[in-house]
Structure formats: C-alpha cells, structure tokens
Amino acid sequence: MTAAKQRTLRAIDVGRGLKLHRFETTSGLPVTVAQRGRIPLVAVRLILSTGAAGDPPGKEGLADFTMRLLRRGTADRDAHALDEAIEFVGASLGLFAGEDQVAVALTTPAEHLPAMLRVLSELARVPSFPEQEVRTERERSLGQFANDVDDPSLLADRALIRTVWADHPYGHDVTGTRASVARFGREDPVAFHATHFGPRPAQLFVVGAVDPDVVGRQIEEAFAPWSGGPRGGVEIPPPRGIARGGTVVVVDRPEQTQSQVRLAGPAYRRGAPVQFAAQVVNVTLGAGFTSRLVREVRVKRGLSYGVASAFDTLRAGGLFSVSSFTKVETTGQLLSVMRKEVQRMRERGPTQAEVEKAQRYLAGLFPLRTETNESLAAVLADMALYGLGDDWLDRYQDRVRAVTRAEASEAAAKYCFPEAPLTIVVGPAERLRPQLEKLGPMEILSADDVL
C-alpha cells in the first residue's frame, strides 16, 4: 500500500475556527484530524459501531470484556510489553464499551504519536486473547462485582437498567452479570473481535497540535494492514417504551442508613430534533445548583446533598431519569417531592424566564465541552456515531437559543413521566416498606439479583 492510493484529504470548516481534515485510509478506515492548540499532547479516539447492545444473549458483558482484554496481548507483544510501550512514554490508553459503541481513547505526548498509532492499530487488528489473561480478567471482573455490592448508587443504576429495558438489547449493564461473565471462555472475545472489528464499522479521530498531512501518512502506514469488519453497525430495534412503569423495585440492603432512589421513564433517541427543547426542560428541572429539584429537595428541605435529572440517550432510544438519595426515614418524602416537581413540569412546563435562563446556561457553558483535546475527540466521535451533523458545534448555541417556551412545554409533557415511571430504591426493604407501599406495587430484589 502506498500513501498515493489513500483518499484525498478534505478540509471541512465546521465553524468556531475549527477545521476538520477528513480522509479514508487505503484499507477503508475513515479518519478525522483536527489541528488545534499548543500543548504537545495529542488525543486519539478509535470507535467501532458495536457495543453492549450487540452482546449475544447469555453473553452479556462480552463487548466490555473483549475491550478490557485488547491490551492483554497481541500477535506481536504480550501484556507487559504493551503496557511498557504505552506507559513508558507517558501515554495513557483507555478501553471502553458503551451500549452503542466501543472506543479506545489514547492520549500521548506528540513526539510519540507515530509509535502509539502503531500500538493502537495492533490492539484493534491482532489481539491474541491469551488463555491465562482471559482467566485473570474473568476472575477480576467477578471480584469487581463482589466489590460493587458496597456501592449503593451503582446498585441503583444497575437495577434501573435491567428493569427498565427488560429484554431489549439495552437491558443489561455493559459489564454484564456475574452469571454471564462466569461463563466467558477465550472463544468468546475471539468471536466478538472476529465479528465486530475491522475498518468498515470503525472511525478514527485525532485532535491536537499536529500537521494533518503528516498524521495522515502515519495513520495510513499504521492502519494499512487492517481489513474487513461488518458494514454498518449492530442493528438495535427501538425499545417499546419502558417495562414495569408504576412499580417500586427495592434492592434490599438492610444495613444502609441512606436510600438511593431513581425514577425513570422513556425518552428519545440520541440526536432527535427535540433534544434542544428537552435540554431546556432538564436544566430547569434538575441540572446545576439552581434547578427546581435542587431548590425543593436540597435548599428548602435539606433532604439530600444532591438531586439531578438527566436524559440518557442512545442510538435506538433513551431514558429520562431523576436520581437522589436521602436518609432512610425520609425516603418516601423525597420520592413524593421528586414526583410532584416532575408532575408540575409536565403539566405547566417551564416559565419564559426559566427558558431564557436555561438557554444562557447551556449556551454559556457549551465551549467547555470541547475545551481539551480528549473532550473534542469524544464529541467529534459522537457527532459521527449519532449523525449529529458537521454543524453541530457551530450551531448548538443557536439551536438552544431558538427553543420556544411552547416547544419546551411540549417536550416536558411528553417526557416528564406522562405514564407512571419505574421507581428504584436501594435500602433496607422492611424499614422502607411503610413509606413505599403506597407508591405502587413493590418488588424486592437482593443485591445478587442485580449483579
């Protein structure tokens, strides 16, 4: 392969003084390079359109397990040699699995970029999944589940995901379950890699004080031998609403003096046009330190240290949720305040003054989202993965400012639990029962049920 065959570099002005340089390697890997900044640290992000939603039934957690093992050995180097290659020069490499994507995030001193691109290519192309490393990783993952029992907030999040999405591909934690992970053998990550990896479903992003032409040649050289992979990502059916709305699911932790609580209902898929109006609603209801929820829960009543609402959106669907925690004795009170505030937002929407305040908040802080090279690389990857458009960065603030009160109210009516939400509580079930049973049918799980 020669650089001459590589598809021509195209420069796209995406506004805010940022130019994206795009090309495809001869092997078919789409690449985006953004030249910026002065600090000699370069961020690299490789994403593939697969993820936990592509975990085969009974193999929940496989995408995540595969990613963790990528750096534990390749055809050319063992785990120790890989760690040395990456860590000796002061680079750092993170491996992630989400529902819709897997990603390798690398930050490296600029002078070591060519060598790190070769390591990255090696991890993506020829991981060897040594038998011993698979065993160690399996044991470590299982050990992590045992340690996770002590984290009530994490238990609440896990209980929420498995309950709310039921048997949809989003319905398991990306780390899987103790039962599924315990069954993993070497053949599982090997098969996952063979099925999902290759330049076709992948995209590479480089951000930093780099010359796009020079980096282009380095990428071509490093990734020329990579080939194959499925066309398009994993197909994920849109979820049919949420499961067990109206139910109160309690994860029983008898020793706790504080309950973790979650409320959740269905929302929209990532990138849906309603997102800007929905964000205005979210900021007003439960983001930052001056939201309605913070005022009612923390400031007026001292019920909790923190309360927040959030839209968690993915390729095929999304969730709207409200999270908080309080001492066991005030759990029922906290839930009733949370529900009341969500209901008030659903019925009346935000005021005009609240809409304007949320717009200033979102627009003013927007530049911070892409301040570092790593964060810009992650945003560029999301823009590509979720089809947000090349004008995403340039137009975000205008789009937020264009939201009308009517649009925000409509979004509130649609997503602020028009149907009864699922309620999750992690705490001592028997002590909580008198406070919770009036809220809906109760279902009690143990920590083991959600791990």
Partner 1 sequence: MSPRKKPELFPVQEARLPNGLRVRMVPDHDAPVVSLYTFFQVGSRNERPGITGISHLFEHMMFNGAAKYGPKEFDEVLESNGGRSNAYTTHDATVYYEDFAAEALDTVLDLESDRMRSLTIDDRSLKSEREVVKEERRLRVDNEPAGLMDEALHALVYEAHPYRWPVIGWMGDIEAIRREDCEAYFRTFYAPNNATLWVAGDFEPGPLLKRIRKAYGDIPKGPAVPGVINAEPPQRGERRAELRHPSRAPSLLVAYRGPQVTDPDTLTLDVLQFILSVGEGSRLQRSLVYDKRLAVNVGVDWSWRRDPGMFAFHLELQPGADVRAAEDALYAEVRRVAEQGVEAREVEKARNNLRAHLLREFTSNSGRAHALGTYELFLGSWEHGLTLPEAYGRIDAAKVQAAARRWLDPTQRSVVTLVPEDARS
> What is the C-alpha to C-alpha distance for residues 11 and 416, in angstroms, rounded to an integer?
42
* Residue span binding partner 1 (CB under 8 A) among the ranges 159-167, 185-193, 292-300, 377-385: 292-300
CB distance 78 to 66 below 8 Å? no
* Residue span binding partner 1 (CB under 8 A) among the ranges 77-85, 184-192, 195-203, 339-347: 77-85
Q: Which residue's structure tokens are 């390798």?
A: 104
Complex with partner 1: residue 12 or 39, whichever CB lies closer = 39
Task: Determine the length of the chain.
Answer: 451
Q: Is 446 in the site for partner 1 (CB under 8 A)?
A: no
* Residue span binding partner 1 (CB under 8 A) among the ranges 98-106, 121-129, 142-150, 229-237: 142-150
Interactions with partner 1, residue window 383-422 (CB under 8 A): none
CB distance 193 to 166 below 8 Å? no
> What is the C-alpha to C-alpha distance for residues 290 and 311, in angstroms, rounded to an integer?
18
Q: Is 66 in the site for partner 1 (CB under 8 A)?
A: no
Tell me how far, at minimum, the Cβ of 300 lies from partner 1, in Å.
8
Interactions with partner 1, residue window 331-370 (CB under 8 A): 357, 360-361, 363-365, 367-368
446 Cβ neighbours under 8 A, 6+ residues apart: 251, 252
Sign of the Cα pseudo-torsion (349, 351, 352, 357, in order): negative
Q: Is 15 in the site for partner 1 (CB under 8 A)?
A: no
- The alpha carbon torsion through 52, 390, 309, 233 (nearest 10 deg) reads -10
Residue from 9, 179, 290, 404 binding partner 1 (CB under 8 A): 290
Tell me how far, at minimum, the Cβ of 354 lies from partner 1, in Å.
10
Residue from 300, 348, 433, 438 binding partner 1 (CB under 8 A): 300
Residue from 299, 387, 389, 441 binding partner 1 (CB under 8 A): 299
Q: String of b and e for 38-52 (b: at least 16 CB within 10 Å)?
A: eeebbbbbbbbbbbb
CB distance 105 to 86 below 8 Å? no
| β-sheet bridge partners, residue 251 | 426, 445
- Under the rule (CB under 8 A), what is the footprint of partner 1? 37-41, 71, 79-80, 83-84, 86-92, 107, 109-110, 136, 139-140, 142-144, 146-147, 149-152, 253-258, 288-290, 295, 298-306, 325-327, 357, 360-361, 363-365, 367-368, 371-374
